[in-house]
């Protein structure tokens, strides 16, 4: 009995293995992503808008792949094989980018997209399955897991970003690939630590024979490899993605709500609520994900990055977000538990409202500090405060959202629901690329641009984003009670 109590007071051992596996996977993903926009503008000689659309298409497809990665794991692969396959493909993709031209970049992106689709959705699902239903430690556990994500991001946006931008982009991409291999090693060699989670093993349907005598599992793997050139095509012809993401969103929403209707009124309402939260999540991340595109080039052109005689590389400004997550993430983890004990924990809709409000205020920081610009360059503290507000907004919304999905969804479609949640990131990242083009300087591929012109453009666009987000936050707060009713007690 005492052992049982001790376990309940802490967290499952498997959480920390998943923490470090995810940390190194994020080191890989965010390291590559931190360098991507500048690599395309400076080395591949792309104009801003073209680079932003490729970036948005890539990051959008990365998260869209999670929809299919979750479903294929639920039906055929099981979570363990899905994650291992994803890790291998992501590592291969990073090393392909070292080819040094646009073709190798797009092929490498394709491999990373497919790999991330398997890795990302399913490792979060395992975290949820380490806890019993209604376990009060679940939100805290997801926040700890989220700190692991951001520790990987911090390492990526300092070490990988610095090495890639200062020395050579290929060294940064190669280092990101080594990080992915580290994630694979940890996940495989310490697999017994998370073995208590349900759904790890290959599904019975995956073991069944299919065409030519191969198992369905084998055909899924073959199909995954065949998807890589398809991703290459979609990134290069990214206008198609508008229709693709729209169709996938309709399909996933229909699947979730249909399953909810089959299980009864309570589950129907919960699935409707989940679809609404997916839409809200898109609004937040479409603005937040300016970090890798417009905010990075804003830092490059219109931010004074000198610190005691040393100029911080523009890509390293992305590390502010991850740094703040790590510094204050643990405080938030304890804060939710404390607020629950005293009965003052905000409802999930209100947490989303507060998160979006803070993101909006973060963008308005640019307007405020534009008054202190010298030679069309704002102080570095502009981005420090912007990312601080974005980070606190993120902590109100993102780890809570991951936990919410595992509570709202029926267990038999938890992977599909988590995939649907990551679809919101897919749409948001793609929309973020389009928003970023509003700030784009058409520099004919890496040429000099007027920082006076870009200054006015950045301030104007970021201010408008801020006002729109604040308006959205107010609407969510107004409709928070009806949303709570749809959730039927999930908090």
Residue pLDDT, tens place only, 419-470: 788 789 889 999 999 999 998 765 544 456 788 889 999 999 999 999 999 9
Which range has the worst mean pLDDT, 91-105, 181-195, 286-300, 403-417? 403-417
Helix (H) or strand (E) holding 303: strand 303-304
Q: Report the relative pairing of strands 303-304 and 378-379 from DSSP bridges.
A: parallel
Structure-model confidence comparison of residues 87 and 490, the more confident one: 87
User: What letter does residue 134 receive in the DSSP assignment?
Assistant: T
The Cα-based distances of 16 to 5, 11, 22, 344 in angstroms read 19, 9, 10, 29
Contacts of 236 (CB under 8 A, 6+ apart): 106
d(CA 270, CA 253): 12
Q: Report the relative pairing of strands 306-307 and 310-311 from DSSP bridges.
A: antiparallel
Q: Looking at residue 403, what is its pLDDT? A: 80
| Percent of the chain whose predicted confidence (pLDDT) is above 70 | 96
Q: What angle do CA 413, 191, 5 make, to 5 degrees?
A: 80
Among the listed residues 400, 425, 395, the one whose alpha carbon sits nearest the alpha carbon of residue 325? 395
d(CA 465, CA 469): 6
pLDDT at residue 401 is higher than 90: no
User: What's the pLDDT band for 2 if we cut at 50, 70, 90?
Assistant: very low
- The full set of domain ranges for the chain reads 10-487
User: What's the pLDDT band for 222 if we cut at 50, 70, 90?
Assistant: very high
Q: Do 17 and 190 contact (CB within 8 A), yes or no?
A: yes
| Percent of the chain whose predicted confidence (pLDDT) is above 90 | 62
Helix (H) or strand (E) holding 320: helix 319-341
Among 129-143, 296-310, 323-337, 399-413, name the most confident range. 296-310
Among the listed residues 154, 128, 11, 130, the one whose alpha carbon sits nearest the alpha carbon of residue 70? 128
d(CA 57, CA 434): 9
Phi-psi region of 309 (alpha: psi -120 to 50; beta: other; left: phi over 0): left
DSSP per-residue string spanning 181-210: HHHHHHHHHTGGGGTTSTT-SPPHHHHSB-
Paired tokens of 445 = 């591929």
Structure-model confidence comparison of residues 5 and 81, the more confident one: 81
Q: Do 147 and 92 contact (CB within 8 A), yes or no?
A: no
- pLDDT tens-place string over residues 328-346: 877 887 888 888 888 888 8
pTM of the model: 0.85
d(CA 177, CA 181): 7
Paired tokens of 91 = 């590592």
Paired tokens of 92 = 């291969």
Q: What angle do CA 434, 435, 439 make, to 5 degrees?
A: 110
Contacts of 448 (CB under 8 A, 6+ apart): none
The Cα-based distances of 36 to 11, 59, 321, 491 in angstroms read 36, 11, 18, 38
Q: Do 15 and 130 contact (CB within 8 A), yes or no?
A: yes
Q: Do 314 and 296 contact (CB within 8 A), yes or no?
A: yes
Coil, helix or strand at residue 85 = helix
The CATH label, of 3.40.50.1820, 1.20.1250.20, 3.40.80.10, 1.10.287.70, for the domain at 10-487 is 1.20.1250.20
Furthest C-alpha separation in the chain? 70
Q: Do 433 and 36 contact (CB within 8 A), yes or no?
A: no
Contacts of 58 (CB under 8 A, 6+ apart): 36, 109, 113, 235
- The phi and psi torsions of 347 (rounded to 5 degrees) equal -65, 160
Beta bridge partners of 470: none
**If you average pLDDT over every residue of the chain, what do you get?**
89
Average of pLDDT values for 39-55? 91
d(CA 158, CA 164): 10
pLDDT at residue 252 is higher than 80: yes
Query: How many Cβ atoms from other residues are within 10 Å of residue 5's Cβ?
Result: 8
User: What letter does residue 373 receive in the DSSP assignment?
Assistant: -
């Amino acid at each position: 009995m005492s052992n049982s109590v001790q376990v309940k007071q802490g967290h499952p051992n498997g959480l920390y293995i998943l923490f470090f596996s995810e940390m190194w996977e994020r080191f890989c993903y965010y390291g590559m992503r931190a360098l991507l926009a500048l690599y395309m503008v400076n080395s591949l000689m792309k104009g801003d808008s073209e680079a932003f659309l490729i970036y948005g298409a890539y990051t959008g497809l990365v998260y869209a792949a999670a929809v299919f990665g979750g479903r294929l794991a639920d039906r055929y692969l099981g979570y363990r094989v899905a994650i291992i396959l994803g890790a291998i493909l992501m590592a291969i993709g990073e090393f392909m980018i070292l080819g040094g031209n646009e073709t190798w970049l797009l092929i490498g992106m394709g491999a990373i997209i497919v790999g991330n689709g398997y890795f990302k959705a399913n490792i979060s699902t395992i975290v949820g399955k380490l806890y019993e239903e209604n376990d009060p430690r679940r939100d805290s556990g997801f926040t700890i897991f989220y700190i692991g994500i951001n520790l990987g991001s911090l390492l990526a946006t300092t070490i990988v970003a610095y090495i890639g931008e200062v020395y050579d982009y290929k060294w940064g991409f190669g280092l990101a690939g080594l990080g992915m291999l580290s994630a694979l090693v940890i996940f495989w060699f310490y697999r017994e630590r998370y073995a208590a989670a349900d759904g790890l093993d290959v599904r019975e349907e995956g073991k069944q024979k299919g065409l030519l005598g191969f198992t369905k599992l084998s055909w899924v793997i073959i199909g995954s490899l065949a998807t890589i050139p398809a991703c290459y095509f979609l990134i290069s012809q990214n206008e198609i993605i508008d229709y693709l993401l729209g169709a996938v969103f309709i399909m996933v929403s229909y699947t979730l709500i249909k399953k909810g209707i089959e299980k009864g009124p309570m589950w129907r309402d919960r699935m409707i609520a989940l679809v609404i939260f997916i839409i809200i999540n898109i609004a937040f991340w479409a603005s937040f994900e300016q970090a890798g595109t417009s905010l990075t080039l804003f830092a490059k052109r219109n931010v004074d990055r000198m610190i005691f005689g040393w100029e911080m590389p523009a890509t390293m400004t992305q590390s502010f977000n991850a740094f703040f997550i790590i510094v204050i993430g643990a405080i938030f983890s304890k804060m939710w538990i404390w607020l629950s004990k005293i009965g003052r924990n905000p409802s999930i809709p209100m947490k989303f409202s507060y998160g979006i409000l803070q993101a909006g205020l973060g963008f308005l920081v640019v307007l405020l500090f534009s008054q202190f610009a010298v030679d069309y360059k704002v102080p570095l503290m502009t981005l420090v405060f912007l990312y601080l507000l974005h980070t606190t907004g993120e902590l109100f919304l993102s780890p809570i959202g991951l936990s919410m999905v595992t509570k709202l969804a029926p267990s038999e479609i938890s992977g599909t629901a988590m995939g649907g949640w990551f679809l919101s990131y897919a749409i948001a990242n793609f929309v973020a690329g389009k928003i970023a083009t509003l700030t784009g300087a058409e520099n004919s591929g890496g040429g000099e641009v007027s920082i006076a012109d870009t200054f006015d453009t950045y301030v104007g666009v970021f201010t408008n984003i801020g006002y729109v987000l604040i308006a959205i936050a107010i609407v969510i707060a107004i409709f928070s009670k009806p949303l709570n009713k749809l959730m039927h007690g999930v908090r």
